[in-house]
Amino acid sequence: MSLKFDSITFQSQKFTSFALPLMPRLSSSKFCMASKAPCSGTKDEVENHKKRFMPRQKVHVEVKHTMPPQKIEIFKSLEEWAENNLLIHLKPVEKCWQPQDFLPDPTSSDEFDEQFKELRERTKEIPDDYFVVLVGDMITEEALPTYQSFLNSLDGVRDETCASLASWAIWTRAWTAEENRHGDLLNKYLYLSGRVDMRQIEKTIQYLIGSGMDFRTENNPYLGFIYTSFQERATFISHGNTAKLAKDHGDTKLAQICGTIASDEKRHETAYTRIVEKLFEIDPDGAILAFADMMRKKITMPAQFIYDGLDDNLFHHFSAVAQRLGVYTAKDYADILELLVEKWKVKELCGLSADGRKAQDYVCGLPPKIRRLEERAQERAKQAPSIPFSWIFDRKVKL
């Protein structure tokens, strides 16, 4: 299939760094996709067929397109606002770090050998439980296709053509491109370390992307951007804590890597929280109802359906290790909620409907309840067993 190229440029005096490069145009209109799927069979046969691609998983009843048309118009009216207030949180590609900046140089055999040996020496004494958490974080980053699909499911802001010049669409693609470097870098570093079973990790990535994610945001950008605001803060905390632990274990290069990724997540958090801040400004009742709705559903981490072909409870096991090491905890969840309540001035909201006031009370009263649950979880964790993780060649780690 031959490729031809057309030139498309995003004309903006403020954001010339987002000019689009030459884009490929497929000259052939014929696409062929082969698939085999069972046309009939017992329920068990169908379930076994599905499990070849993803684990059994609980997905909530689908609720779709809950945002009324007048609220879709809000996002269309915010197009210029998004250009001026959202795209500024992206970095021009030429000013971005790239994974190779942190990895051994493959162009020089002598330098590569020396840098490779240094990397192996640094990672040699890092404990297994740290690698479980780092691998889990990396796999979560590698499921980026799911997150871009999620953003493009949101009514009023989706990229309708996959090359739209609307500000919302530019944000989604450029955000995805920035995030793509995170998984690339961690994946290569883990590969070079020799401490992990890369084939099991690669299987887990394939399973996770194939499984998708049950965001429960109903194609509603109010819910979607509350989710991303929370989630970007959570990943900032998680990568920041893996950076601290890497430094404690003597790998300053890995600490730098995790810290650099955390810095990206912080910048993205700022962008997403500004969107919701704007929604609270123009539609406080709708925003607080959405905030309460997402908190009732609970913000589930993107690795919810993580699976390695062996452990049906891998997400809970990985999360337990992260909790024990202090990488991401129930306390962090409560802290994030308190931070967003303060940032969006939820307690100061006035003129709300009766339902809006109930939602306000619910959200503001939630952090203490979460903290009490965390205390109980810490007590239970003291009796947690050690279990094998396939990512580290089935060596056992305490949960």
Return left, alpha or beta for 74; rule: phi > 0 is left, psi -120 to 50 is alpha, else beta.
alpha
Does pLDDT of 326 surpass 90?
yes
Does pLDDT of 7 surpass 80?
no
**Do the annotations mark residue 182 as ligand-binding?**
yes
**Do the annotations mark residue 111 as ligand-binding?**
no
Question: At CB < 8 A and 24+ separation, what contacts does 97-104 make?
Answer: 97/181, 97/260, 98/181, 99/181, 99/184, 99/185, 99/188, 102/185, 102/189, 102/253, 102/256, 102/257, 102/260, 103/185, 103/188, 103/189, 103/192, 104/192
**Do the annotations mark residue 268 as ligand-binding?**
yes
- Residue-wise pLDDT for 165-182, tens only, equals 999 999 999 999 999 999
Q: What is the pTM of this model?
A: 0.86
β strands within 212-287, DSSP E: none
Q: How far is CA 40 from CA 37, 115, 226, in A?
A: 9, 55, 41
Q: List, in order, residues 6 or more apart from 86 with CB less than 8 Å away.
A: 167, 168, 171, 271, 274, 275
**Do the annotations mark residue 375 as ligand-binding?**
no
Task: Retrieve residue 27's tokens.
Answer: 């000259």
Q: The CATH number of 78-398 is which of 1.20.1260.10, 1.10.620.20, 3.30.470.10, 3.30.360.10?
A: 1.10.620.20
- Residue-wise pLDDT for 200-237, tens only, equals 999 999 999 999 999 999 999 999 999 999 999 999 99
Q: How far is CA 289 from CA 162, 180, 245, in A?
A: 31, 32, 38
**Do the annotations mark residue 160 as ligand-binding?**
no
Q: Count of CB atoms within 10 A of residue 69's CB?
A: 8
pLDDT of residue 379: 74
Q: Which residue has the higher pLDDT, 335 or 12?
A: 335
Distance separating alpha carbons of residues 334 and 206, to the nearest angstrom: 31
pLDDT of residue 165: 98
Catalytic residue positions, numbered:
97, 141, 179, 182, 232, 235, 264-265, 268
Give the chain's mean pLDDT.
Answer: 89
Q: Count of CB atoms within 10 A of residue 36's CB?
A: 6
